[in-house]
C-alpha cells in the first residue's frame, strides 16, 4: 500500500524519507524535491503526475539510482541506496530495477532478442538459460515472432514492448516507467498499459510510473501528484 505521510509501513518495499534534491544553476539553487516521503509495497502500481518541471523524472531517477539525492534516504528491500558507490549502484540497478523509457531507448544496432538479453549479460546465467529467459520475456509482451528484428523494423508500440521485455527479463525488484506511453498513439498506449497491468496482476511486479497522460494514470492503483517538491495523494 502506498503512503506519502512519512509514517512507517513495515511491509514497504521502497521507503523514501525526507528526500531533498537541489540543482545549482550558477549561483541559483533550485529545490526540486523537498522533504519527500514515500512508502511503496510489493505489487503496487503507482503513477506520479504533475506539471512539467515538478520533479517527477528526478524522483524516478533517484529511485532508480541514476542520480543521488541532496539529502534524505532511499531504502529498497532493506538496502539504503543513497550511500552506495557508483560501482555498487550499477550492480544494484542491474539486480533490482527494470527501466522503461518514453523513447524506448533500445540499442538500434542490436536485434530485439539482443536488446532484451542485455540485462542478463550481467548475470551468471548460461547462454542457453539466457535464451530461455529472453524467449519467455518476449512471449509475455507478445513479440516471440519479432526476436530477430531490429528496432527500426518495429512499430513504436512494438519497440516499447521490447523495452518492457528488457525491463522484466532479469526479474527485477521493481519497474520504473518514465512516460511509457508518451510517444505512442492511443491504441498502442492502451496496449502498453494493458501489458503493465497484466504484469502487476499475473506476475506481481511493482511498478512506479511517471506520466502526463490521465488515461494511463487511471490504470494505476495509486496516483500521486508532485506539488512544491512533495507528494500528494490524488483523490479518485
Partner 1 sequence: MAIPLTYNLRSVSNRWVSSIVAVVGIAGAVGVFIAMMSLANGFRAALVTAGSDRNATVLRGGATAELESAIALEQARLVGDTAGVARNGEGQPMISPEIVVVTALPKKDTGTDANVQMRGVTEMAPKVHDRFRIVAGRYFKPGIAELVVGRNANHTVRGMEIGARPRFGGQDWEVVGIFESGGSAFDSEIWLDGNLLAEAFQRPIGLYQSITARLESPSSFQVFKDALTSNPALTLQTEPETVYYARQSEALSTMIQTLGSMVAVVMGIGAIFGALNTMYSAVSARSREIATLRALGFGQGSVVVSFVVESLLISLVGGLLGCLAALPVNGMAVSTLNFQTFSHMAFAFQVSGPILLFGIGFALLMGLFGGIFPALRAARLPIATALREL
Which chain residues interact with partner 1 by CB under 8 A? 57-58, 61, 64, 66-67, 86-87, 90-91, 93-95, 99, 101, 103, 105, 107-110, 114, 118-119, 121-122, 166
By C-beta, is 12 or 208 nearer to partner 1? Answer: 208
Q: How far is the CB of 229 from partner 1 (least distance, A)?
A: 17
Q: How far is the CB of 1 from partner 1 (least distance, A)?
A: 28
Task: Show the cell assigned to 131.
Answer: 535464451
By C-beta, is 62 or 192 nearer to partner 1? Answer: 62
By C-beta, is 61 or 158 nearer to partner 1? Answer: 61
Q: How far is the CB of 106 from partner 1 (least distance, A)?
A: 8
Q: How far is the CB of 186 from partner 1 (least distance, A)?
A: 23
The torsion angles phi and psi of 140, rounded to 5 degrees, stand at -60, -40
Q: How far is the CB of 10 from partner 1 (least distance, A)?
A: 29
Structure-derived torsion over alpha carbons of residues 54, 57, 62, 68, reported in degrees to the nearest 10: -70
Inter-residue contact 36 to 72 (CB < 8 Å): yes
By C-beta, is 178 or 191 nearer to partner 1? Answer: 178
Q: How far is the CB of 137 from partner 1 (least distance, A)?
A: 14
Other Cβ atoms closer than 10 A to 77: 15
Inter-residue contact 162 to 170 (CB < 8 Å): no
Other Cβ atoms closer than 10 A to 194: 11
Task: Show the cell assigned to 147.
Answer: 526476436
By C-beta, is 39 or 159 nearer to partner 1? Answer: 159
Q: How far is the CB of 83 from partner 1 (least distance, A)?
A: 18
Q: How far is CA 52 from the centre of its chain?
A: 18
Coil/strand/helix, residue 149 = coil
Q: Which of 146, 176, 148, 172 lies closest to 161 in space, CA to CA? A: 146
By C-beta, is 54 or 58 nearer to partner 1? Answer: 58
By C-beta, is 12 or 76 nearer to partner 1? Answer: 76
Inter-residue contact 175 to 199 (CB < 8 Å): yes
Coil/strand/helix, residue 128 = helix
Residue recorded with cell 515538478: 54
Amino acid at each position: 500500500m502506498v503512503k506519502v505521510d512519512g509514517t512507517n509501513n513495515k511491509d514497504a518495499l521502497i521507503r523514501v524519507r525526507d528526500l531533498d534534491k537541489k540543482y545549482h544553476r550558477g549561483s541559483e539553487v533550485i529545490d526540486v524535491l523537498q522533504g519527500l516521503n514515500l512508502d511503496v509495497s510489493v505489487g503496487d502500481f503507482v503513477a506520479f503526475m504533475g506539471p512539467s518541471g515538478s520533479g517527477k523524472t528526478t524522483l524516478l531517477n533517484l529511485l532508480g539510482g541514476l542520480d543521488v539525492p541532496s539529502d534524505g534516504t532511499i531504502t529498497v528491500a532493506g538496502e539504503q541506496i543513497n550511500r552506495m558507490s557508483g560501482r555498487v549502484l550499477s550492480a544494484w540497478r542491474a539486480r533490482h530495477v527494470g527501466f522503461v523509457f518514453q523513447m524506448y531507448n533500445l540499442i538500434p544496432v542490436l536485434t530485439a532478442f539482443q536488446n532484451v538479453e542485455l540485462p542478463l549479460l550481467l548475470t551468471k546465467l548460461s547462454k542457453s538459460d539466457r535464451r530461455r529467459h529472453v524467449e519467455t520475456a518476449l512471449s509475455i509482451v507478445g513479440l516471440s515472432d519479432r526476436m530477430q528484428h531490429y528496432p527500426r523494423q518495429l512499430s513504436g508500440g512494438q519497440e516499447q514492448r521490447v523495452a518492457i521485455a528488457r525491463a522484466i527479463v532479469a526479474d527485477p525488484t521493481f519497474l520504473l516507467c518514465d512516460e511509457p506511453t508518451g510517444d505512442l498513439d492511443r491504441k498502442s498506449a492502451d496496449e502498453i498499459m494493458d501489458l503493465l497491468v497484466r504484469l502487476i496482476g499475473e506476475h506481481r511486479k511493482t511498478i512506479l510510473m511517471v506520466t502526463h497522460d490521465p488515461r494511463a494514470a487511471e490504470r494505476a492503483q495509486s496516483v500521486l501528484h508532485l506539488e512544491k517538491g512533495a507528494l500528494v495523494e490524488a483523490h479518485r
